[in-house]
């Protein structure tokens, strides 16, 4: 039985990961800024009859709160085995449509939220010489994704952070993985630019994203991919198959990948300026 923390655990990918963990018999802290949502998710998971779940309200932009939660879980259970730094928000719009508020919110949650989780979990795991940190990035952290470059920039940073930390952690007993999913149908896509100035892409971005991606992966399938990758100690967990193909294409021909992204951006600009 593992002791795990999942941030952003009240919905989407986080909830699916927490469900997989509880189904395996693990003890999971469902952490989310949405306290009622975390409570509802934990209560539902506790009906599965295998592992158990507990809810915790957490704002990942608050470094002291993150440290207090992670240390508290370790103190209560005597160890901390798995940490999924998963909380994030979606930012959509062309660079000229975005304000510094968009940039700062993306950095605060998508990047600094992961930094706070790593900063809290890594010393604990070094001391116990065991544990696995799993950071959620995105396919946007591997390929050029326009119409949301604050999101793209932060996800590239999470990939670099994770791979660099994995190299540092080699031989310590601590494992580090980064998750790079393609387009997954989560509440993130239904709430583009939450609480921020609107852009033409604000609100439900699924229709726009479907034009680019052609379809969505389910959180449940992704969570199974993630747990398989964690069990295998994969450095990078890239899913689904179409995402791995896009990543492979980027490595084979960065110029072609940028051209494809430029075409998508041009179409977006043309369609929205004609309205």
**Domain layout of the chain by residue ranges:** 3-273
Q: What is the pLDDT of residue 83?
A: 98
Fold annotation for 3-273 = Rossmann fold (3.40.50)
- Cis previous bond, 240, omega within 30: yes
Question: Is 13 within 8 Å of 86 (Cβ atoms)?
Answer: yes
pLDDT at 201: 77
**Which residue stretches of the chain have pLDDT < 50?**
none
Confidence at residue 38, expressed as pLDDT on a 0 to 100 scale: 98
**pLDDT, position 72:** 98
Q: Catalogue the active-site residues.
A: 151
> What pLDDT is attached to residue 216?
75
* pLDDT score for 209: 57
Residue 273: its pLDDT value, please?
66
Q: What pLDDT was estimated at residue 189?
A: 62
Question: What is the model's pTM?
Answer: 0.92
């Amino acid at each position: 039985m593992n002791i795990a923390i999942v941030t952003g655990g009240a919905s989407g990918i986080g909830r699916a990961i927490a469900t997989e963990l509880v189904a395996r018999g693990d003890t999971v802290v469902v952490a989310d800024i949405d306290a009622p949502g975390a409570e509802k998710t934990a209560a539902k998971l506790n009906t599965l009859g295998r592992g158990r779940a507990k809810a915790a309200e957490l704002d990942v932009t608050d470094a002291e709160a993150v440290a207090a939660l992670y240390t508290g879980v370790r103190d209560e259970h005597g160890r901390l085995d798995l940490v999924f730094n998963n909380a994030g928000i979606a930012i959509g719009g062309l660079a000229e449509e975005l304000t510094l508020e968009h940039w700062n919110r993306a950095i605060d949650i998508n990047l600094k939220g992961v930094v706070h989780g790593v900063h809290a979990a890594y010393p604990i795991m070094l001391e116990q010489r065991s544990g696995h940190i799993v950071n959620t990035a995105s396919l946007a952290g591997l390929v050029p994704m326009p119409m949301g470059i604050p999101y793209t920039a932060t996800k590239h940073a999470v990939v670099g952070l994770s791979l660099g930390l994995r190299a540092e952690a080699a031989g310590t007993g601590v494992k580090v993985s980064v998750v790079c999913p393609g387009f997954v149908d989560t509440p993130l896509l239904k709430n583009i630019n939450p609480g921020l100035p609107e852009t033409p892409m604000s609100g439900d971005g699924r229709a726009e994203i479907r034009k680019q991606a052609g379809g969505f992966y389910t959180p449940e399938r992704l969570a199974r991919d993630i747990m398989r990758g964690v069990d295998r100690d994969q450095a990078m967990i890239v899913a689904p198959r179409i995402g791995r193909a896009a990543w492979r294409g980027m490595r084979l021909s960065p110029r072609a990948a940028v051209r494809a992204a430029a075409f998508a951006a041009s179409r977006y600009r043309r369609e929205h300026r004609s309205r």
